[in-house]
């Protein structure tokens, strides 16, 4: 078998241990790891929200990890488009995709071109969504406290 070129993409917003785990595990399963940092425009289109951390900073964080060989901006509409651009032969995803309609479609798409899809355990106790909810709660609390002190 030739060189395994892996691709793991994500928003990598509010960077946390789940992101580290995904990328570290990915590197142990390939020779070269390319990390795709999803652009602000694609995040808005696909998730309906912009990231908290700007793209240039998310790219710098991911680039600085010793187990990431290359970090790129994922700004093409599909993973297949990214494959055409980068030529990876293994794609890494969190196991929350496994068995889902999106995961099944991804597997079919990449089976056509000989790319293996490998799933890693999703870090349940820490997620960007949970962190975002906690931040929103703190912001609401702070705004409420400000209004109360202004009223007094």
Own/partner pairs for 20-25, CB < 8 Å, 24+ apart? 20/65, 21/120, 21/121, 21/123, 22/92, 22/94, 22/120, 22/123, 23/62, 23/65, 23/67, 23/68, 24/67, 25/92, 25/120
Q: For 57-98, write each residue's pLDDT tens digit.
A: 999 999 999 999 999 999 999 999 999 999 999 999 988 889
Q: For 2-58, write each residue's pLDDT tens digit.
A: 899 999 999 999 888 888 989 999 999 999 999 999 999 999 998 898 998 999 999
41 alpha carbon, distance to own chain's centre: 14
Q: Over 70: is that where the pLDDT of 149 sits?
A: no
Per the listing, tokens 């999703």 go with 122
Q: What domains can you pick out in the chain, each with its CATH number?
A: 5-123 (3.40.50.620)
Q: For 133-147, write each residue's pLDDT tens digit.
A: 656 666 666 655 666
Confidence category of residue 129, pLDDT binned at 50, 70, 90: low
Phi, psi (degrees; rounded to nearest 5) at 80: -60, -40
């Amino acid at each position: 078998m030739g060189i395994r070129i892996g691709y793991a993409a994500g928003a990598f917003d509010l960077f946390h241990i789940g992101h580290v785990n995904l990328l570290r595990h990915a590197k142990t399963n390939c020779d070269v790891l390319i990390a795709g940092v999803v652009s602000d425009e694609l995040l808005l289109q696909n998730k309906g929200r912009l990231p908290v951390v700007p793209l240039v900073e998310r790219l710098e964080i991911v680039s600085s990890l010793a187990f990431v060989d290359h970090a790129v901006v994922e700004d093409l509409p599909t993973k297949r488009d990214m494959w055409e651009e980068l030529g990876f032969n293994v794609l890494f995803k969190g196991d929350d995709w496994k068995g889902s309609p999106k995961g099944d479609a991804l597997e079919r798409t990449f089976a056509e071109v000989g790319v293996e899809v490998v799933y890693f355990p999703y870090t349940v106790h820490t997620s960007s969504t949970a962190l975002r909810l906690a931040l929103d709660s703190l912001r609401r609390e702070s705004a409420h406290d400000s209004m109360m002190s202004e009223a007094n």
